[in-house]
Structure 1
């Protein structure tokens, strides 16, 4: 299932996540942490892979088309308290 969101909305969601969320999402979905970060606009393709994020220039940081919303939905569940986050130091 694909969805469209602005880049600034995607970054705001990422910035709202508690510490340890990237690692929690990666572990739960069996992904590399850098792959999860790339989903939220990161660009570390040496350690992570591309995850079907397409950014078009436009207002509010541009328009982002997400091919798969699994990571997005997991992040939203963390924010509303449906998923537990384990902080890693």
Structure 2
């Protein structure tokens, strides 16, 4: 399942550079996560890096984009081109 950024976001800019898949970008009002690029850092790290650095804890799992660990790993392989 990918992650989302809630309205509690304070636009502090710390999450965007931490994303290894470039899934986080500025939205109209707050940062947004592209669910097609978010792998919850599977393949890169043991934990989602954006959640680790967020000072207001506004990056929960997105209940509308549920994915298994295997699906996240497959997405990682496609995004990175690693077999």
TM-score with structure 1 length normalisation? 0.30
Q: Which structure features the higher share of strand residues?
A: 1
